[in-house]
C-alpha cells in the first residue's frame, strides 16, 4: 500500500508532462421559482396536478425530474430531456445529477405524450426500470414515473409497477 501512496504523491509533486487534471466547483443555479403551497406530493394525483402546467404548451416530448425530500415535499424541478413528437432520449445520469445536487431522498419523473394517450410504451417501461435500478444503487427512492396526457395521467406506482 505504501508503494501506491508514494506513486500518487510523486505524481502530485512531479506530474507527467502535459498531464493535468481539471479542478472544478459544482454550483446549482435557481432559474425560477414556482409557487408551492407546502402540501406533500404523496399521491400521483397531487403530483400530476402540480406538474401539469409545465407541459401545457409543450410541442415536444419532455422528461421532467422533481427532487423531493423524505417527506415528499418538492425541492426542485428540472427539464432533464427534450425530444421530438413521439420520443425523448433520456440519459439516466441527467436524472440523478439533479437529485444528488439537491441532496434529495426521492425523485419523481414526469413526461408527456403529445398524442393524447396516457398508456406507457415499451420504451417507457424500459426507462422506468433503468431509473429504478439506478436509484436503488444510489439510495435515492424512485417514487413514481407519471405520464401526462390530455385525457389524464398514468402513474407507474398507482398501477403497481413501482415499489
Domain residue extents for the chain: 32-155
Does the pLDDT of residue 2 top 70, yes or no?
Answer: yes
Phi (first) and psi of residue 114, to 5 degrees = -70, -25
Looking at residue 21, its pLDDT comes to 67
Grid cell listed for 85: 413528437
Burial (0-12, 13-18, 19+ Cβ within 10 Å), 81: middle
Topology of the domain comprising 32-155: Cytidine Deaminase; domain 2 (3.40.140)
Looking at residue 124, its pLDDT comes to 93
pLDDT digits (tens, 9 = 90+) for 85-111: 777 788 999 899 889 988 999 999 999
Residues with Cβ < 8 Å from 113, sequence gap 6 or more?
A: 61, 147, 148, 149
Q: Model-level pTM?
A: 0.78
Does the pLDDT of residue 55 top 60, yes or no?
Answer: yes
Amino acid at each position: 500500500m505504501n508503494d501506491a501512496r508514494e506513486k500518487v504523491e510523486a505524481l502530485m509533486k512531479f506530474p507527467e508532462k502535459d498531464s493535468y487534471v481539471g479542478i472544478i466547483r459544482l454550483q446549482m443555479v435557481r432559474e425560477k421559482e414556482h409557487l408551492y403551497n407546502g402540501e406533500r406530493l404523496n399521491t400521483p394525483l397531487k403530483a400530476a396536478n402540480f406538474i401539469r402546467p409545465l407541459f401545457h404548451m409543450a410541442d415536444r416530448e419532455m422528461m421532467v425530474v422533481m427532487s423531493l425530500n423524505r417527506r415528499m415535499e418538492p425541492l426542485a424541478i428540472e427539464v432533464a430531456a427534450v425530444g421530438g413528437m413521439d420520443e425523448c432520449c433520456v440519459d439516466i445520469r441527467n436524472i440523478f445529477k439533479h437529485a444528488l445536487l439537491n441532496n434529495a431522498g426521492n425523485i419523481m419523473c414526469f413526461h408527456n405524450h403529445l398524442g393524447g394517450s396516457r398508456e406507457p410504451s415499451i420504451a417507457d417501461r424500459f426507462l422506468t426500470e433503468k431509473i429504478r435500478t439506478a436509484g436503488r444503487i444510489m439510495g435515492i427512492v424512485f417514487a413514481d414515473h407519471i405520464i401526462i396526457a390530455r385525457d389524464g395521467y398514468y402513474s407507474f406506482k398507482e398501477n403497481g409497477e413501482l415499489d
